[in-house]
């Protein structure tokens, strides 16, 4: 009897400390047939070398959620460059590693540049889809820790057009961080629900979800121009009539919020505001379009003025994001 194979994709960008804690938790899960692919977005903090050291058993993990397991080290890894991925030359080496047990192998994909969350994940999803070896794909943030049975419980709720998320709790407080998503349009705001009750969800958070690999072939991938922020909401909104998103509350992971960019970073200020306006311009109309454009340009700029004395770079990045969101379209604006 064939056991469903699952590819787990983890995007890393200058965050190896979080990534190896996430990996340590993954290599202790109960599900028997999976592969882990770490996609590095051209980090400049020696992330790949540190991840390799962890796999060799030379870096021990200290975490309140797990104990370091020396018995499954060393973990054999294969590093694939973006150029090797395009040429397909890596396949013979990967087939050799594929024969190893799930918790004794690691694939590292090294991107040529920082493509952002959207395209960084797209590249790995395309790799999995082309190889045609995995039935499902899991996207998982590197700043997470998973419970041992999270993957098995996600799979229990899976199906042809179903995309399923675990219940996501806060890493530091054990409070619920994501139990579903609702969206309102006056003003426009996708909002995480943080409820103890099971309810329908309109979208899932990019932090973690499982979906059938075949959906990638039907266009289920991020809009690369979004780079980071709103890329997950835009994807689920685009596929709202083709898939059923659900949250399996029996599957649990823990998330460290805003680790990659920081709450008041210029990167977050720019992309969050640019992408929100891009979504509004491309998906709303009539009263809702006019109201939200005015609200998130003039109104929002005035409301956020209190940030200027303490976070001047953050505030200026907000203004720049608003300007580019209004004046430019997908593919025309990048953060320099």
Question: DSSP 3-state assignment of 257?
Answer: coil
CA distance 177 to 191: 11
Q: pLDDT tens digits for 312-336?
A: 999 999 999 999 999 998 755 443 3
Q: pLDDT tens digits for 101-115?
A: 999 999 999 999 999
Question: DSSP 3-state assignment of 74?
Answer: coil
Q: Strand 136-141 vs strand 76-81: parallel, antiparallel, or unpaired?
A: unpaired
CA distance 40 to 87: 19
Q: How far are the Cα atoms of 32, 36, 135, 258 from residue 5, in angstroms, in the given order?
A: 9, 11, 6, 30
Q: pLDDT tens digits for 98-153?
A: 999 999 999 999 999 999 999 999 999 999 999 999 999 999 999 999 999 999 99
Cβ-proximal residues to 161 (8 Å cutoff; 6+ apart), any chain: 212, 215, 242, 243, 244
DSSP state of 159: B
Predicted confidence at residue 262, as pLDDT, reads 66
Cβ atoms of 301 and 319 within 8 Å: the answer is yes
Question: Considering the chain, what is the average pLDDT of its residues?
Answer: 93
Q: Tokens 């790995």 identify what position?
A: 124
């Amino acid at each position: 009897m064939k056991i469903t194979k699952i590819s787990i994709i983890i995007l890393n960008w200058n965050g190896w400390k979080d990534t190896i804690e996430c990996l340590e938790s993954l290599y202790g899960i109960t599900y028997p047939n999976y592969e882990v692919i770490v996609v590095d977005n051209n980090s400049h903090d020696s992330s790949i070398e540190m991840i390799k050291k962890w796999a060799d058993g030379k870096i021990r993990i200290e975490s309140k959620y797990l104990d370091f397991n020396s018995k499954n080290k060393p973990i054999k890894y294969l590093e694939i460059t973006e150029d090797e991925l395009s040429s397909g030359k890596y396949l013979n080496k990967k087939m050799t590693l594929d024969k190893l047990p799930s918790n004794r192998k690691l694939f590292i994909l090294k991107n040529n540049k920082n493509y952002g969350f959207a395209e960084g994940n797209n590249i790995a999803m395309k790799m999995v889809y082309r190889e045609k070896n995995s039935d499902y794909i899991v996207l998982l943030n590197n700043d997470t820790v998973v419970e041992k049975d999270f993957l098995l419980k996600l799979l229990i709720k899976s199906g042809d057009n179903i995309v399923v998320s675990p219940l996501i709790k806060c890493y530091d407080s054990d409070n619920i961080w994501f139990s579903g998503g609702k969206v309102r349009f006056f003003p426009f705001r996708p909002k995480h629900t943080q409820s103890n009750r099971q309810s329908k969800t309109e979208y899932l958070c990019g932090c973690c979800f499982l979906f059938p690999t075949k959906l990638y072939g039907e266009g289920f991938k991020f809009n690369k121009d979004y780079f980071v922020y709103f890329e997950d909401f835009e994807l689920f909104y685009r596929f709202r009539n083709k898939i059923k998103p659900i949250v399996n509350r029996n599957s649990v992971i823990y998330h460290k919020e805003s680790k990659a960019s920081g709450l008041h970073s210029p990167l977050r200020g720019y992309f969050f505001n640019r992408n929100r306006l891009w979504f509004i311009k491309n998906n709303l109309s009539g009263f809702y379009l006019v109201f939200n454009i005015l609200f998130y340009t003039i109104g929002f700029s005035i409301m956020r003025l209190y940030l200027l004395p303490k976070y001047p770079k953050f505030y200026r990045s907000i203004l720049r994001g608003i300007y580019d969101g209004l004046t430019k379209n997908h593919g025309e604006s990048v953060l320099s």
